[in-house]
Amino acid sequence: MARTNLVVGGLTTLIIIIVAVFAPLLAPYHPVDDADLMVSDEPPNNKFFFGTDNQGRDILSRVIFGARISLSVGLISQAFNTLIGIILGMTAGFFGKWWDDIVMGLTNIMLSIPSLIFALAIMALLGPGLLNVFIALGFTNWSYTCRITRSQVLSARSLDYVTAARALGYGQNRIMFTQILPNIVGPILVIATLGVAYAILLEASLSFLGLGVQPPTPSWGGMLSTAREQLFTAPWISIFPGMAIFITVLGLNLLGDGLRDILDPHITKQK
Amino acid sequence: MLAYAIRRLLQFIPTILVITLIIFLLLNVLPGNAALMAAGDQDHNIDIHYIEMMKKDWGLDKPIWLRYVLYVKDMATGNLGLSFLRREPVRDLITDRLWPTLKLAIMAMVIAVSFGIPLGFFSALRQGRWLDTFTMMGAVSGVSMPQFWLGLLLMFFVSVKLRLLPPMGYGDGNFINMILPAFTLGVGYMALLARTTRAAVVEILTADYIRTARAKGLSELLVNSNHVWRNTLVLVMTTAGLQFGALMGQTVIVEKLFSWPGLGSLLVDSIFQRDIPVTQGCILTIIMVFLIVNLTVDLLYGFIDPRISYK
């Protein structure tokens, strides 16, 4: 089961990454400029495999280019979250005392604010736009990484290799980042993979609400937002962007699950 | 038990204060001129004196810390300020919208709990069999599915094609209008509960007390119902409570999609209208509902799991 998850999830993710990187080569039309009102709202056919939208743009091309937005938002914002989580969690677990109390207090508070609501609050502050989505999502979802890093550091702190490093006279920063960090990278990686999936869903949600990436930039969530208005007359517009989100997020979730099954010794032992 | 409940309630207050501070700071360093927005005018030639007057009227001329103190003081008496746009008390706007949202969230939760937990439970008892494989595939799909897409598909197939249910709107609060939005909202939550329950049961099945129960000759049925089921509930309740927050957050999307007149759509509209008092009020109310649910779950622990000592 773990292997299947890992392989299916990994392959799907790889394909999406390839699509995003080679989008200009793969897309038959330009996602924004090739708008032809003569062919607006065409159902899927030989010329436009996924049909066209109300401005006569090729939906297939827009879905292909949309992969770039989703993946970059997912990867970059999760990179921010992971960095924040690691730094806060490491220092909290390592130094303890009042700093630990502050960090854990903040983490618990972040956990009690629904991510979408927090992201909405930041978007209300910054206004819509791709850059602001990066910022909003980059600060929204670090609490899980922080918690897991802290608990891993706490249990690693008393292990022999850390004592040995201390005895060798390593400084605190050196112990934290060159000794402990490489040993706890597994669980962090699992959380990060699932986090990328979650960030992609959140970006799509923000864009769907009209607060994320703005048209004419092709984003999957934004495409669905306009598709809703045409659900009765041109339902095919709703199908493909949503399917793209679903497959991408599913692939990442399977990859995360598979990684967890392999990296987490606690689960493997039970089998 | 009582002492624990009281202590838990007291912990509630600083949490709310810090959350209020975070949200207040986020929304009140907004760029743009709030007084101008309150004046309801996009015209930049507007009289400076008028703006000053507006600032005074809305208390925007005071330093930000004082505004926060005043806000918290008002909040304690249930006053959430006036809407910039509609000049109505935010509290009234919110109480009008709260019930539709709660109705939706509770209904979604009922759907999720009554399907998700049993599915996860029986999957774990039949590990590797078809029910397990099928449920877990469904669950990972449910977690990965964007709700607004699921909602759009349901709207199209159930309402447009089959004409079984109304596609959107609140109706008069009829049950029939609630089915699609509640189901859309509940699916992700259901999938998550199924996954959590299965993981919990798999872990419990390896516990020593289960082996003991089997060894003393209890039937499989008794082991499962008395020993496994109860312990599962304890583990799953935490997740159920925590994830209710995510559910409250997601009402925003489902309400927008189905034109449901709840807190979520009020929140999104207020963000577009830059009606900060309303945005602030909605966000705080949603978080508050979530905190109260979690508090209740914590207190309920005592009844479900007598081992928990309230120290």
Per-residue pLDDT tens digits for A168-178: 888 888 888 88
Pairwise CA distance, residues B256 & A184, whole Å: 41
Phi and psi, residue A142, nearest 5° = -95, -5
Map tokens 């997740």 to a residue. B239
Per-residue pLDDT for B245 more than 90? no
Distance from the first to the final alpha carbon of chain B? 9
Interface predicted TM-score of the whole assembly (ipTM), two decimals: 0.83
Distant-in-sequence, close-in-space partners of B28: CB < 8 Å, separation ≥ 6: B64, B67, B68, B276
**pLDDT score recorded for residue A271:** 34
Name the least confident of A257-261, B93-97, B256-260, B304-308.
Answer: B304-308
Q: Give the gap in angstroms from C-alpha A68 to the nearest C-alpha of chain B.
A: 18
Write the residue in B18, B242, B249 that is nearest to A116 by C-beta. Answer: B249
Q: Do A250 and B141 touch (CB under 8 A)?
A: yes
A-B contacts (CB, under 8 Å): 134
**pLDDT score recorded for residue B214:** 78
Write the residue in A1, A112, A242 that is nearest to B146 by C-beta. Answer: A242
What are the helix (H) ranges across B145-228?
A: 147-154, 175-205, 208-215, 220-222
State the average pLDDT over residues A109-138: 86
State the average pLDDT over residues B9-33: 76
Pairwise CA distance, residues B229 & B296, whole Å: 21
Task: Output the CA–CA distances (angstroms, integers) from residue A69 to A58, A66, A130, A220, in the order listed.
Answer: 17, 5, 8, 8
Tens of pLDDT along B218-231? 777 777 777 788 77
Distance from the first to the final alpha carbon of chain A? 11
Name the least confident of A147-156, B73-82, B91-100.
Answer: B73-82
